[in-house]
A and B are shown apart, each in its own frame.
Chain A
Amino acid sequence: MSETGRHEDVPEETLPGERETAHEGAVITAENPFADPGLPPHEHRAQDIDERAAKRSERTVALLFVVSMIATVAFIASYVAIPIDKIVYIWPIGHISALNFALGLTLGAALFCIGAGAVHWARTLMSDEEVADERHPIEATPEVKAKVMADFADGAKESQIGRRKLVRNTMFGALALVPLSGVVLLRDLGPLPGTKLRTTNWKKGVRLVNASTNLPLRPEDIAVGSLTFAKPEGLEEDDEEFAEKIAKDALMLVRIQPQNIKDKHELSWSHEGIVAYSKICTHVGCPISLYEQQTHHVLCPCHQSTFDLSDGGRVIFGPAGHALPQLHITEKDGFLEAASGFGEPVGPSFWERG
């Protein structure tokens, strides 16, 4: 193994495999030590020479198949025996559905053992002698190609498509037009947008209702340092089109010391330091839900667009392209209400937004 003497012998000892065909332009000569030596001789496995080893493999494979059968029986037994609402504690997973756990593991074992048995069978008992098969070029021979070309020319000539240009051109015209029917049929997939993307249900005099308690909001309900969510009065969960409406109308309110409101316009649309902004992010429309009370920043949890509610709702970080729309609010009879609708479309921007 460690004999250095072998150094000298190498080129002479390792004679090239002459039966190998030359490939990729490599010239194989008797002196080429890098030549392809050809397929190495097959090495026998224990199972090939020792029948007892082969028997052991056979028993292992059979055992795996038997375990699979048992697992399938166990699967059916679990299906019948374990109630669907039974929860068990399994360390370290935690509290999980007993039925799901049992069915999954027995099914997994039944399948896995079939696979393991088959693979073990293939690896230990089936022949593992490597054989070589020839490859043939994918490209057709020139004769085949010439025949195909001639056939095609004959076919084309017989069809007279080249001669009868009127037939050809009208056919192309008809084939080009007919898919239009399919396109036209798609028209009724939905209505035209109209002004729907620009309008919400907020307008002058609509009261602000707490989204979680469903009660009209008073100014004193809005505490410093917390985010309050509101919806327009009259919008109820069981309304037809509730989802479409709340997707545009959702509002968030915070109370900021009036002297801390940097934007003059914002201040004029606020009421006693209470400012109302659209909850729908101007990036792609996620509802904004995270509020940092020290800085009056809100963060959209989807793509982390950050807006400054004390400065006109402008974007201070993230992918949103424009400020959050503010709702002009006022107080009437002790309750908060909208002094007007939104001055601009809420939600993500679109081509016609302007």
Chain B
Amino acid sequence: MSNETSATTTRRGPAPRGERIADWADGRLGIYSLAKSNMRKIFPDHWSFMLGEVALYSFIIIILTGVYLTLFFHPSMAEVTYHGSYVPMQGIRMTQAFESTLNISFDVRGGLLIRQIHHWAALVFLAAMMVHMMRVFFTGAFRKPREVNWLFGFLLFVLGMFTGFTGYSLPDDLLSGTGVRFIEGVILAMPLVGSYLQFFIFGGEFPGHDIIPRFFTVHVLLLPGIMLGLLVAHLILVFYHKHTQFPGAGKTNNNVVGMPLLPVYMAKAGGFFFLVFGVIAAIAAIASINPVWAIGPYRPDQVSTGAQPDWYMGFAEGLVRVMPGWEWNFWGHTLNFGVLIPILVFPLVLVAIAVYPFVESWVRGDKREHHILDRPRNVPTRTGFGVAWLIAYFVMLIGGGNDLWATHFHLSINSITWFVRIAFFVGPVLGFIATKRICLGLQRRDKDKVLHGRESGIIKRLPHGEFIEVHEPLDQEQLHLLTQHEQPEPLELGPEVDENGVERKLSRAQKLRAKLSKSYYGEDSVIAKPTVEEYKEITSGHGHH
């Protein structure tokens, strides 16, 4: 690089055009300083690091296709009679929103494709965000200095859910209208302000003529605008913090090992955008999604069976479906717990995972930066919590589709509902315990491998007739990988009386913290990793296998 610059300064004649443009931009934007720190920025390589990329690229695809759709979509609830080219719907009354969706699907060439890419990309976007979030969670990538970026990502996930909901409500078909009616019921259930909020949000009685245009503004402007800002902040922080890396030979907390942005990641990440876009386009070509023409326009007195929200809302749907219908009437007022509790539990479950990084750092009392990722087995309590959270999430997803489970597997809907009610509480506990045991088992196996080597599968017969399996020692890279993790001591509360014999006052928070710390780092959660002495004693012994 420095050779080149000196070469250009000594070269006679005008600089090449590209360089002149760059000079112009640098004089105004300072791009050279920016490029100096970023152009050859090192990014570590691991397949799981591309999950976030899938989310990023599907978001871009959604914006591109969404802008196209706004050119043809009319977010209006004015009633019209359909006279378009889709014969089965001719003469049927519908809103302009539904009519223009039919036009996009049947009269605009490629409109159906763009609509389907938009919807498929939304499903992929939410799924990718969720899996990306799980990758970050299970490897502890959320630890200092990345807690704020974890929150940005979490907000993107939550806002993505609501952007998706407002989006699939726009066509005003029978299915999405039913979803909007559900929202009406949820708003009505709010104590004190519910009926006022409902009338303000819908501009009067349900359904009114305002909700689709209002959802449209929220869907194309408000939420994506916030998300775009959060996304840029998320990416700036990724650059600023430099990417985390998995442990391994040559990788420390003070370095980042990988390949440079230019050219390798430009090509790989840039190329990956096209791969994601290409795959989603192919899916949109062969797999129909949300065929609103088969569902028909919304009418508040009609409904189709098997009504399902998009998958990312299934968890909330499950909470609403399996909640018992508790309702209180007192002094002329009604508290509808059957709806109220699910919509309070829904954000609480989400918040539980959002605040987790802060809980863990408090329990551990750890103020250092962490750039080396954890292997999930080495932090059994965190891994167990993550699995428990996922079980709660997926149990509710089953609850959200209880009618489909019932019809497809010929089960009683009542028993599925009861299963979900119980499993929502019991499943996470069992999952936590099982995961912790599995993690400890894997830790034991790691220890075994370090001390006794890898089972080679080769059976050897000794001179006196005994058969043994040859164990191959690990090389230093593997030894390092299996022993590099830290094993912090659990927090000690200290003696109960101070040196003067006076009882020390311990706050409840301190006691809780010590308890949690014990569950994280106490002997039940950790298999002491092999020490150098143990290793030497075993490997220096003769004839040990």
Interface residue ranges, A against B (CB under 8 Å): 1-2, 4, 6-8, 10-11, 14, 16-17, 20-21, 23-26, 31-40, 79, 84-85, 90, 93, 96-97, 99-105, 107-119, 121-123, 126-135, 137-138, 186, 189-193, 196-197, 211, 229, 231, 237-238, 241-244, 246-248, 250, 279, 283-287, 289-290, 301-305, 315, 317-322, 347-354
A104 touching B203 by the CB < 8 A rule? Answer: no
Q: By CB atoms of chain A within 10 A, which of B188, B260, B335 has the most? A: B188
**Which residue of B41, B242, B300 has the most chain A CB atoms within 10 A of its CB atom?**
B300
Q: Which residues of B327-357 have CB atoms within 8 Å of chain A's CB atoms?
A: 327, 329, 332-339, 342
Q: Is the CB of A7 within 8 A of B476?
A: no
In contact, B205 and A112 (Cβ under 8 angstroms): no
User: Across the interface, do B339 and A348 meet the contact criterion of CB distance under 8 Å?
Assistant: yes
Interface size range on B against A: 35 or more
> In the assembly, what is the distance between CA of A104 and CA of B110, in Å?
8
Q: A133-B242, A351-B194 are in contact. List 10 more A-B contacts (CB 8 A).
A: A2-B470, A101-B286, A104-B281, A104-B285, A137-B369, A190-B204, A250-B300, A285-B181, A285-B182, A301-B306
Q: Are B301 and A246 in contact (CB under 8 A)?
A: yes
For residue A101, give the distance in angstroms from its CB to the closest CB of chain B: 5
C-alpha spacing A113/B402, complex, angstroms: 41
Q: Kindly state the separation between the CA atoms of A127 and B263 in the bound complex, as whole angstroms.
A: 9
Enumerate 25 A-B pairs (CB-CB under 8 Å) in ascending A order. Answer: A10-B539, A33-B536, A34-B450, A34-B535, A39-B249, A84-B106, A84-B107, A93-B286, A99-B109, A100-B112, A108-B282, A115-B278, A118-B271, A122-B271, A130-B258, A134-B255, A284-B186, A286-B181, A286-B303, A289-B303, A302-B307, A318-B325, A348-B339, A350-B194, A350-B336
Q: How far is the CA of A271 from the CA of B472 in the complex (A)?
A: 88
Q: Is the CB of B475 within 8 A of A14?
A: yes
Residues of A within 8 A of B20 (CB): none
User: Chain B residues near A84 (CB, 8 Å)?
Assistant: 85, 106-107, 109
Q: Are A284 and B270 in contact (CB under 8 A)?
A: no
Known contacts: A118-B270, A279-B301. The answer to whether A126 contacts B110 by CB under 8 A is no
Among B27-35, B160-168, B478-486, which stretch is in contact with chain A? B478-486
Q: Within the assembled complex, what's the spacing in Å between the Cα atoms of A110 and B191?
A: 54
Whether, in the assembled complex, B435 has its beta carbon less than 8 Å from a beta carbon of chain A, the answer is no
Asked whether, in the complex, the Cβ of B267 is within 8 Å of the Cβ of A118, the reply is yes
Contacts of A322 in B (CB 8 A): 325, 327
Q: Are B334 and A4 in contact (CB-based, < 8 A)?
A: no
Bound: A96/B417 CA distance, A: 37
Stretch at the interface among B206-214, B437-445, B501-509: B206-214
Total number of residue pairs linking A and B with CB closer than 8 Å: 390
Binary per-residue interface labels of chain B (296-313) against chain A in the complex, 1 for a CB within 8 Å, 0 otherwise = 000111111111000000
A283 vs B450: C-alpha distance in the bound complex, in angstroms?
60
Cβ–Cβ < 8 Å partners of A114 in chain B: 271, 274, 278
B residues with CB within 8 A of A: 41-42, 45, 79, 85, 93, 106-107, 109-110, 112-113, 116-117, 145, 178, 181-182, 184-186, 188-196, 198-208, 210, 240-242, 249-260, 263-264, 267-268, 270-282, 284-288, 299-307, 320-327, 329, 332-339, 342, 369, 371-372, 402-403, 413-414, 417, 450, 453, 456, 458, 460, 470, 472-473, 475-477, 479-480, 483-484, 486, 532, 535-536, 539-540, 542, 544-545
A115-B272 in contact (CB<8A): yes
A35 and B483 alpha carbons, distance in the complex (Å): 9
Most buried by A among B109, B323, B333, B342: B109
Which B residues are in CB contact (< 8 Å) with A132? 42, 250, 255-257
Residue from B189, B208, B251, B267 within 8 A of A244 (CB atoms): B208
Closest to A299 in B: B413
Pair B109/A302 contact, Cβ less than 8 Å: no
Q: Which residue of B lies closest to A353 (CB)?
A: B334
Q: Which of A118, A244, A279, A285 is within 8 Å of B274, CB to CB?
A: A118
B264 touches A237 (CB 8 A): no
Contact check: which of B259, B284, B336 meets A349 at CB < 8 Å?
Answer: B336
Taking CB atoms, residues of chain A closer than 8 Å to B107 are 84
Using CB atoms, name the residue of chain A closest to B260: A131
Given the complex, which residues of B lie within 8 Å of A108, measured CB to CB?
A: 278-282, 285
Q: Which residue of A lies closest to B300 (CB)?
A: A247
Neighbouring B residues of A353 by C-beta, 8 Å: 329, 333-334
Known: A33-B535, A112-B279. A304 touches B339 (CB 8 A): no
Structural contact, B332 and A6, CB atoms closer than 8 A: no
CB contacts (< 8 Å) of A304 on chain B: these are 321, 402-403, 413, 417
Task: Establish whether residues B369 and A37, one from each chain, have CB atoms under 8 Å apart when the complex forms.
Answer: no
Question: Which residues in A have their C-beta under 8 angstroms from that of B338?
Answer: 283, 319-321
Is the pair B110, A99 in contact by a Cβ cutoff of 8 Å?
A: yes
Measured between alpha carbons, how far is A192 from B439 in the docked complex, in Å? 58
Contact A302-B271, Cβ < 8 Å, known A23-B252, A79-B110 = no
Which A residues are CB-close (under 8 A) to B199?
190-193, 196
| Nearest A residue to B281, CB-CB | A108
**Contact between A117 and B333 (Cβ–Cβ < 8 Å)?**
no
Pick the residue among A23, A116, A349 that contacts B188 (CB under 8 A).
A349
In the bound complex, CA of A109 to CA of B188 (Å): 49
Min C-beta distance of A322 to chain B, whole Å: 6
**Bound state CA distance, A96 and B113, in angstroms?**
12
